[in-house]
Structure 1
Amino acid sequence: MRQGPLAGRYPAVAAMVILALIPYLALSAALDPLVPIITEQLHMSTQLMSLSSGLGNAAYAVGTVLAVQFAQHLPQRRMLVAYAVVLVVGSVLAASAQNAGMFIGGHVLQGLATSMLLIAAAPPLTIGFPKDKLRNTAVIMNMCVFGAVALGPFVGGAQAESQAWRPLFWVIAAIALMALVMAALTFEDAPPADRDAPRDLRAIGLAAVGCGAAFIGASQLTTHGFGDAAVTVPMFGGLALIVALVVYQFRARRPLLTVRPVLTSAIPVAGVGVALFAAAASVAATALTANVLLQTYSPFHVGLLYLPELGGAIVMAVVFGIVITRRAMHYLPLVGMVLLAAGIVVFRFALPANQPLVMLASALTGLALGATVAPALFVAGFSLQSNSLQRVFAIIELFRAVAAFMVAPILAHFAITVSTDLTEGTVDALWIGFGLAVGGTIFGVAIYALSGARPQRPDLDEFLDGDDPAWYSPPLLARVRGLPSRRTANARVTTEATPAHDEPAAPVLLAYDGSELAAYAITRAAIQLGTPRDALVVCVWQPVDVGFTPTDKTHFDADRATDVRRAAERTAAHGASLASEAGFSARSVAVEAAPTWKGIVAAADGHDASLIVLGPHRRDGLLGHLQGSVAAAVLAHSTTPVLIIPQREGVPQREEVSR
């Protein structure tokens, strides 16, 4: 396997992620004060400049979907390098633009490449290293996305002070080139996620046309009224296509995006909702107040007034890194929404030009940004298995981009048209932003309360091993629908019925998940224990996250419990055949349980097993050779003796699949 000289080194991989994400995200927040300069030098109208921003944001949203599709069929790390190349090309094209076409094309490539880099690089940084690095990853992700955005107004104002724009764009291009170099140095070849996955051109088409139309419509608000067909037709038509994408992916047998598990489980729904409300309200508040302040102060002065936002983002990024391993992680987005509402109120009283209040409001907004979107994203991701993290990030970033980048121009248009005085109109628009912040707070609390969700300390060992989510998330609105809101240790066991009087006494329980390591454990157990002996082969399963590696090529819908159960039964039967070949008198059982260890313990108790045999999963070279958390949990909770078969050299690790 080909590797770069810095492959597997956390500092180098983290630096690559930072350099890849900062350029476009910082630039998008720095553009406003540069618009008059760029339009004059490139002979662009303000409307065309607005269209450029809209198309760049649309490309960012679409890139999340494209990155997931490419990851299924193409070598993932090679594609990451390719995305970095696209970012460099786009940055150079924008910086050297001689006309509107070059500038818009470069900006679109920047947006597209940035979101693809985020989806390709962020999940490996999160789950590809030991859990003691997760705190650092949380800080890095927060700073990359929201620290860069918070820094944007100052950078843009400083550049506008010199009446130039190209130096900033060339700096962005240089950072992009450094990201490409680091992507090459940290290269570690990785296979596609699932070559058998369908090529979902319909999903890509809906995302591309929907996002493109919606953002084009919103960008028309610069010169058109909200009721004009040039605005309403593309904007609402595009939003309708995005809704159609969500419905299509929700109902698809083998979806590209993890829409169903995200939208049917309580904690992910709460996390996504809070992230959308926070993104929409915060971006709008900053953009609205900056427009008013520019009537009194220079762009550089306004940028200085917004520097406390960067400080707040840094402080809260550190706090997020501290609480990410604690139950308090659930409360952080709620705190952030309260801070955001307070910041918007202070902004309202700071207008038109109260500098101390502007700086206080900016600091509150920065704290809110660091406490809401990124923590909410991880809260949602921790509710599913780690092998779903890439697609969870993709769907959340798609939603966040639509919310953040569409609400701001709509509220800006409202502020200009609702009153002849910009300050009065902005105050009215800020109250709408305040309503969004309060609404997001109520939404998150209500989802938890009505679903019976409880703040839990994340089990990062199970999450990073890929065996189970970091915590249990009940079904959406479980209490209202009369569903159980808490997972108990009593797993439901399904198998072909066997009369009680024919049940063999004290069988050996062989845990089997379809992996080569589990098969090796069965073979070694036969040698260690001697045969013939009665054996019960157990395959633990759960809807959506599956929890095992199917041993046949039959495709199934991971969202349908019946399909997953049948696949688990086939996998268990395959394990039983392996056990029979090894000399056991074996039967197979499929067990529905989460987390996995509970199903193993429940099956051992229910069948009076004399011994549990496990082949513990061990992490790869990046994570060190450690026993899997399932084996540790079984040892901690079972009263049945446990035999752990260590991995032999040359036996492949378990490869999770997404069906």
Structure 2
Amino acid sequence: MNRKQLWVLLLGSVASLMAALDTLVVSTALSSIRRELDASIAELEWTVNAYNLSFAVLLMTAAAAGDRLGRRRMFAAGVALFTLASAACALAGDVGTLIAARVVQGAGAALVTTLALALVSTAFPTERRGAAIGILEGVTGMGVALGPLVGGAVADGLAWQAIFWLNVPIGLIAVPLALRKLPESFGPDGAFDFRGVALVTGGTFAVVWALVRGNTVGWGSPETVVTLVAGVLLAVAFVRWERRAPHPMMPLGFFRSRAFSAGNVAIFCTFAALFLAVFFFAQYLQTGLGYGAFEAGLRLLPWTVTLFLCAPVAGALTDRIGERPLMGGGLVLQAVGLGWVALVAGEPYGAMVPALVVAGCGVSMAIPAVQSSVVGAVAPDQIGRAVGVNSMMRELGGVFGIAVGVAVFAGAGSFASAADFTDGFVPAVVAAALISLAGALAALWLPGRAPTPTPVERRVELG
């Protein structure tokens, strides 16, 4: 790894960690925010959803902007926007201001995560890309999983504003370093696809809105049905436009590749199961087993540390043996671990530990393989667009998983008591395991890949 590649990986990982951490970090600090800002339950929900909504909606737009205006430039702009919005969150004097700042923060996160992956994928050659993506995704996965721990620490003594102030000095250092140290890269030449951006943004927003609001207003309510139908219609209009657009933001030819299509289905299922599990595990440890918020975060470490440690190894193995065995096997392991958690629910915490390790190893195997599959299916100058599609599928999967989990939980349990919570927790986690298995089935569609030859094998071939 040369110095330029090291800077790309370092800055991409740090910025992605910030963005990933803020996906769920607020969830265990909601009680403190409710007391200080006098927020209602609905307003508290939007402090979480506002970030995820703008994040998911703008991912493909972020990729298009990076391709057109420069990935380094837009990555630095995303870090700057995220940093300013973090300061605005910390300074918010009322919940409305906090929600608005979270929307802007999500927009910055969309630029950061999409373009970090594009920059890393472009900086490393094919035979080393999996390892680099494994490191990036290991750090990013740690951010998602550590969200409840950091939020729990805040909820148990620190001011909730510290969640957001933490991002500010990191961002102030990262922006000038990104502009100085990262190489600039662009996507294919062509005009900016404004109509495509408008259609995909509107369609994604409508679908995500329906998923987020369905559990609150009812899945058969006019609001949910109308927004979902509108989202589907806009998505159809987007596909029709992209077929004839002179410079499409998402070439539909991508989906002729089995590697690209299978990878995107797999990443949707992977993050649906992961976000569902993150959302409920911390609450189960608190409501079902009686731990405090910070104690619950600490008890998730066997899972979160596994995510951080295994992803780089899995990324390197992807370069050696190909994506399909790691993608499929990892999702099966995640399903086994989640099913195991459901089986031991209600027992002392120690019974969960091996299940958490298995689930963490599984998702750590799957994510780098999926990312390598997707970016490896397109030409180098198309990587930004491919990453935008893949990142959007990740976030949509996360929103979908939480929505499904909450619906399943509400049908079987409640927060009335530890036993009632466990009654809902078990089927919700089973749903996550089934979603993981659906992703494993998608991985079977992935074409096989010949292993990368070792240096000795290369010398034999050349000799």
Q: Same fold (TM over 0.5)?
A: yes
Aligned partners of 1:243 and 1:156: how far apart in 2? 39
- Using the TM superposition, give the Cα deviation of residue 27 of structure 1 relative to its aligned residue in structure 2, in angstroms: 1.8
Match of 2:41 in 1: 46
SS in 2 for 1:198: coil
Q: 1:27 aligns with which of 19, 22, 28?
A: 22
The amino acid of 2:277's aligned partner reads A
Q: Does the CA contact (< 8 Å) of 2:323 and 2:372 recur in 1? A: no
Q: 2:399 aligns with which of 395, 405, 412?
A: 405
Q: Is 2:201 aligned against 1:212?
A: no
Match of 2:87 in 1: 92
Match of 1:429 in 2: 428
Q: 1:56 aligns with which of 45, 51, 58?
A: 51
The superposition leaves residues 366-392 of structure 1 with CA deviations (integer Å, 9 ceiling, x where unpaired) of: 222211123212112112222221111
Q: Is 2:339 aligned against 1:345?
A: yes
Match of 2:264 in 1: 272
Q: Is 2:3 aligned against 1:12?
A: no
Alignment of 1:449-598 (within 5 A): 453-457=447-451
Q: Does the CA contact (< 8 Å) of 1:209 and 1:241 recur in 2? A: yes
The amino acid of 2:203's aligned partner reads G
Change (3 A) 1:338 1:70: same
Q: Is 2:226 aligned against 1:227?
A: no
- Using the TM superposition, give the Cα deviation of residue 345 of structure 1 relative to its aligned residue in structure 2, in angstroms: 0.9
SS in 1 for 2:217: coil
Match of 2:275 in 1: 283
Q: Does the CA contact (< 8 Å) of 2:271 and 2:401 recur in 1? A: no
Aligned partners of 2:188 and 2:449: how far apart in 1? 33
Aligned partners of 2:133 and 2:68: how far apart in 1? 28
Alignment of 1:251-270 (within 5 A): 252-261=245-254, 263-270=255-262
Aligned partners of 1:455 and 1:194: how far apart in 2? 27
- Using the TM superposition, give the Cα deviation of residue 341 of structure 1 relative to its aligned residue in structure 2, in angstroms: 0.8
The superposition leaves residues 105-144 of structure 1 with CA deviations (integer Å, 9 ceiling, x where unpaired) of: 2212222112212333332323325678646522321123
- Using the TM superposition, give the Cα deviation of residue 160 of structure 1 relative to its aligned residue in structure 2, in angstroms: 1.2
Gaps of 5+ in 2: 415-419
The amino acid of 1:71's aligned partner reads G
Gaps of 5+ in 1: 1-6, 461-628, 638-659
Q: Does the CA contact (< 8 Å) of 2:128 and 2:316 recur in 1? A: no
Match of 2:437 in 1: 438
SS in 2 for 1:331: helix
SS in 2 for 1:44: coil
Aligned partners of 2:249 and 2:453: how far apart in 1? 27
Change (3 A) 1:412 1:318: same
The superposition leaves residues 343-373 of structure 1 with CA deviations (integer Å, 9 ceiling, x where unpaired) of: 1111102323530132223222222221112
- Using the TM superposition, give the Cα deviation of residue 291 of structure 1 relative to its aligned residue in structure 2, in angstroms: 2.5
Q: Does the CA contact (< 8 Å) of 2:29 and 2:155 recur in 1? A: yes
Match of 2:355 in 1: 361
SS in 1 for 2:58: helix
Change (3 A) 1:417 1:15: same
Alignment of 1:577-656 (within 5 A): none
Change (3 A) 1:406 1:131: closer
Give the structure-2-normalised TM-score: 0.88
Change (3 A) 1:385 1:148: same
Larger radius of gyration: 1
Q: Does the CA contact (< 8 Å) of 2:8 and 2:123 recur in 1? A: no
Q: Is 2:138 aligned against 1:146?
A: no
Aligned partners of 1:356 and 1:248: how far apart in 2? 54
Aligned partners of 2:207 and 2:34: how far apart in 1? 23
More strand by share: 1
Q: Is 2:167 aligned against 1:162?
A: no
Change (3 A) 1:68 1:328: closer
Q: Does the CA contact (< 8 Å) of 1:326 and 1:457 recur in 2? A: yes
Match of 1:198 in 2: 191
Alignment of 1:124-139 (within 5 A): 124-129=119-124, 134=129, 137-139=132-134
Q: Does the CA contact (< 8 Å) of 1:91 and 1:173 recur in 2? A: yes
- Using the TM superposition, give the Cα deviation of residue 333 of structure 1 relative to its aligned residue in structure 2, in angstroms: 0.9
Match of 1:121 in 2: 116
Q: Is 2:170 aligned against 1:175?
A: yes
Cα RMSD after superposing both structures: 2.9
Give the structure-1-normalised TM-score: 0.63
Q: Is 2:413 aligned against 1:414?
A: no
Match of 1:612 in 2: none
Q: Which has the higher contact order (CA 8 A, sep 6+)?
A: 2
Q: Does the CA contact (< 8 Å) of 1:8 and 1:186 recur in 2? A: no
The amino acid of 1:389's aligned partner reads I
Aligned partners of 1:245 and 1:55: how far apart in 2? 24
Q: 1:370 aligns with which of 352, 364, 371?
A: 364
Q: 1:241 aligns with which of 225, 234, 247?
A: 234
Aligned partners of 1:228 and 1:218: how far apart in 2? 12
Aligned partners of 1:257 and 1:139: how far apart in 2? 25
- Using the TM superposition, give the Cα deviation of residue 396 of structure 1 relative to its aligned residue in structure 2, in angstroms: 0.8
The superposition leaves residues 67-98 of structure 1 with CA deviations (integer Å, 9 ceiling, x where unpaired) of: 23223432443333222221111111111111
SS in 2 for 1:325: helix
Q: Does the CA contact (< 8 Å) of 1:92 and 1:170 recur in 2? A: yes
Q: Does the CA contact (< 8 Å) of 1:135 and 1:324 recur in 2? A: yes
Q: 1:82 aligns with which of 63, 68, 77?
A: 77
Aligned partners of 1:167 and 1:71: how far apart in 2? 31
SS in 2 for 1:115: helix
Aligned partners of 1:381 and 1:323: how far apart in 2? 16
Change (3 A) 1:330 1:99: same
- Using the TM superposition, give the Cα deviation of residue 156 of structure 1 relative to its aligned residue in structure 2, in angstroms: 1.4
Aligned partners of 1:234 and 1:8: how far apart in 2? 48
Aligned partners of 1:390 and 1:132: how far apart in 2? 19
Aligned partners of 1:244 and 1:395: how far apart in 2? 17
The superposition leaves residues 443-470 of structure 1 with CA deviations (integer Å, 9 ceiling, x where unpaired) of: 321x24xxxx32323599xxxxxxxxxx
Match of 2:326 in 1: 332
Aligned partners of 2:344 and 2:38: how far apart in 1? 36
Change (3 A) 1:326 1:342: same
Q: How many residues are treated as equivalent by the alignment?
A: 452
Aligned partners of 1:459 and 1:401: how far apart in 2? 35
